[in-house]
Homo-oligomer: A and B are copies of this chain.
Amino acid sequence: MRIGELAKATGTKAETIRYYEREGVLPAADRTDSNYRDYTDGHLATLTFVRRARELGFSMSQVRELLALSDHDDKPCENVDQLVQRQLVEVKRKIADLSAMRDELAQLLRSCQSDRIGECRIVESLGRRN
């Protein structure tokens, strides 16, 4: 299949697919006579895997690790488990950070009762004294 078809099938831009190839998360495809990339179903599966992992917030290097691990059918999957575990912790941390932001922003909004900047609690709360 050509790059455009693979792109459509996975919701990925062709440029991104080529980028993934350069970054080593998608093996280079064979080329046609006219030098077009020719992808297999294996490529489709791998790209789906990569996109899914990226959607779950794994970094490119983590994706590389996951791919390397998933290539060894017979090895224990405790390492995969660990990567997922670590990512889960990271995501939870981000949620906590954002929740704090959300609360502070909501607090800011509640604090502003005035209508002129000069008396605006928001501007004041952020630390500006003119």
Q: Within the assembled complex, what's the spacing in Å between the Cα atoms of A84 and B95?
A: 19
- Kindly report how many copies of this chain are found in the complex they form together: 2
Q: Which residues of B contact A67 (CB under 8 A)?
A: 128
Pairwise interchain contact A87-B112, C-beta atoms closer than 8 A: no
A92-130 to B contact mask, C-beta < 8 Å, 1/0: 101100110110111011001011111010110011111
Q: A-side binding surface: helix, strand, loop or mixed?
A: helix
Whether B127 lies near A75 (C-beta < 8 A) is no
Residues of B close to A94: CB separation below 8 A: 98
Q: Across the interface, do B81 and A126 meet the contact criterion of CB distance under 8 Å?
A: no
Contact of A122 among B84, B102, B120 (CB under 8 A): B84
Residues of B within 8 A of A95 (CB): 95, 98-99, 102
Q: Which residues of B contact A33 (CB under 8 A)?
A: none
Nearest CB in chain B to that of A41: its residue: B129
What CA separation (Å) do A120 and B79 show in the bound complex?
Answer: 11
Annotate A55-82 by CB proximity to B: 1 below 8 A, 0 otherwise.
Answer: 1110000000011011111111110110
CB contact under 8 A between A77 and B114, given known A84-B109, A94-B98, A109-B85: yes
Question: What B residues does A12 contact at CB under 8 A?
Answer: none
